[in-house]
Amino acid sequence: MNLINKSTACFVLFLALAIQTFAQNKPIDLMSPNGQLKVSVTLGDKIYYSIAANSQELLTKNHLALTLSDGTLGENPKLISAKKTKGEETIKPYIPIKFSTVKNNYNDLLMTFKGNYIVEFRAFDDGIAYRFITSKKGSVEVMNEDFAINFPNNYLLHLQQNNGFKSAYEELYQHVESDNWKQTDKMANLPALIDTKKQYKILISESDLSDYPGMFLKGTGNGAEGAFPKTPLEFGPDGDRSQKILKSAEYIAKTTGTRNFPWRYFVITKDDKQLLQNTMTLKLAAKSVIADPSWIKPGQASWEWWNDAAPYGPDVNFVSGYNLDTYKYYIDFAAKYGIKYIVMDEGWAKSTTDPYTPNPKVDVKELIRYGKTKNVDIILWLTWLTVHKNMDVFKTFHEWGIKGVKIDFMERSDQWMVNYYENVVKEAAKYQIFVDFHGAFKPAGLEYKYPNLISYEGVRGLEQMGGCYPDNSIYLPFMRNAVGPMDFTPGAMINMQPEVYNASRPNAAAKGTRVNQLALYVVFESGIQMLCDNPSLYYRNPDCTEFITSVPTTWDETRPLVATVGEVDVVAKRKGEKWFIGGITNGKEKTREMELNFDFLPKGRTYTMTYFEDGINAGRQAMDYRRKTKQVKSGDKMTITMVRNGGWAAALK
């Protein structure tokens, strides 16, 4: 009997060693459902993986690990089991910024290791993702996470580089050869876009970010590695809208020992159009915890800050500014064009530190009452610090009748601040208030867990005035908007080509053509979409205003028509039976011609298309445009022209 037990024990030990040796010597491959993408995992001193598309290796001998205070998960890994499964589901996001229905099909590899942790890989037809899963008692201190990718060749990187972890994610994109991106250079936030120069592009970001810091990237000369802010422990005063971090922990996160860690994902495509349709953040995000989200109403908003609350003209028989009469004027404008909201930015309250006492010149409660008679609701601006110190403000705002808040100046993505985001949207949801985060990091899945998180800024948008360039904005649909909603605040009615730009509030202007601004309402995606300019100018440009206010903020379908990263984006989007087309381009070509194919339209139906094109002089005088109409049907083709920094926009009914 003892001999049998000993024999059995020896066999089990031999089998375990055989599994481990096999895993170390031979990769474990996971293919995408269509067989085009492959991730190969190899075990040695670390967990290594390579990613290939159609047998072309794109990222080679990458490695991953999670360093805890008592050891490193992924160091000399001991595999217990490897299980492959398939996943198939249909997701219907409450706020659909690209598609109202998303099919989520993938192949999954669950690798269980000695030490109470799992590494999970997923292969989709459009990308690869992985995450750590731990099952440890109590809490753990995460000292660092090893995210390391290696490039087999010199790649072109499109990056938003930062001076440090304190960032509003509003830097201009830089375009860097990977061989030249050294460890001593500036790091970059996510998302990052890699051009392999051999057909494929790779978009890197993360999803299901919760109780953990946001990831940054640092160059290594032949690849990139993750970088994470430490968890802050003590704070000091730093004005009315921020805090200084006086002391930080040695760890990047102190968190529960049994949990799923954030997904790291790679969208992989040889067609730039696919970047415009990316839904990977959604597919990897936590499910909504709001049982009945019907009170969340996406829509457009008239915004006063960009134009300095300065309406003027024969119909303005009051002193304009941040006062009761001016805000009623904004409400009247919103009501006329069916705009759901007005934003009351900094100045609505008597003090930025007291959210309970309105500016007496404004009379917020009277404006709420007046707005309801016009079917227009109000969004109030706040600093994040004031909200942090007054978390019961949502209860008060609900009692007043406020529908949404715009919270500003977070400019951090450490664990403390990531938790702040979630605490805010959770508390706001209790009182049926939606949130628009400004001075924010990029979307990373919280907007699906709490769909009352209706948008994020985290973008170099129009508030940067002359610092907002079409040559930079053309990257946004392929990168920033590819990972989630983006509050760019478009809608300028004063338009200038960059070399003659000279403007400031109250006569704020945008670089690029008038039609470029119209097209942004179709191209850019946000659950709350601003009309940034003066109602007086919108009244004087009724054809443009009617187009802008006809564009939805949520979509059932997104169909890219022409797409080249950094050069041009023309996309068709559907809401119900209506289609809209928006196109934008950079400033490198004097004019750009392209052919549109209307094969996305249902067959057997004819549409009346009202479209806006750059005028003959728009390359010099950016205000020049033409509005035209024509009949189109499925299969028709049409050549369109955009001038430098120009656009093209259409509504089809």
Active site residue 145: no
Q: State the Cα torsion 472-477-481-482 to the nearest 10°.
A: -130
CA distances to 85, 161, 178, 181, 630 from 185, rounded to whole Å, are 41, 9, 11, 6, 53
d(CA 554, CA 298): 7
Determine the Cα–Cα distance for residues 296 and 294; give it in Å rounded to an integer.
Answer: 5
* Tokens linked to 572: 């068709």
The active-site residue out of 145, 463, 471, 614 is: 463
The question of whether 577 is a catalytic residue gets the answer no
In angstroms, the CA 141 to CA 152 distance is 34
Q: Tell me the C-alpha distance between 111 and 90, whole Å.
A: 25
Closest CA to 597 of 559, 557, 629, 645: 559
DSSP 3-state of 473: helix
**Would you call 439 helix, strand, or coil by DSSP?**
coil
Contact yes or no for 267/203 (Cβ under 8 A): yes
What would the DSSP string read from start to end of 141-188?
EEEEEEEEEE-SS--EEEEEEESSS---S-PPEEEEEGGG--TTS-EE
* Residue 108 CA neighbour count, 13 Å, CB half: 14
Strands (E), 438-527: 453-456, 495-496, 510-511
CA-to-CA distance for 186 and 184, rounded, in angstroms?
7
**Which of 120, 408, 411, 533 is labelled catalytic?**
408
Q: CA quadruple 532, 534, 535, 540: dihedral positive or negative?
A: negative
Cα-Cα end-to-end distance for the chain: 83
Alpha-helix runs per DSSP H in 285-323: none
Please name the amino acid found at residue 614.
D
The answer, yes or no, to whether the previous bond of 77 is cis (omega within 30 of 0) is no
Contact 333, 302 (CB under 8 A): yes
Catalytic center residues: 408, 463
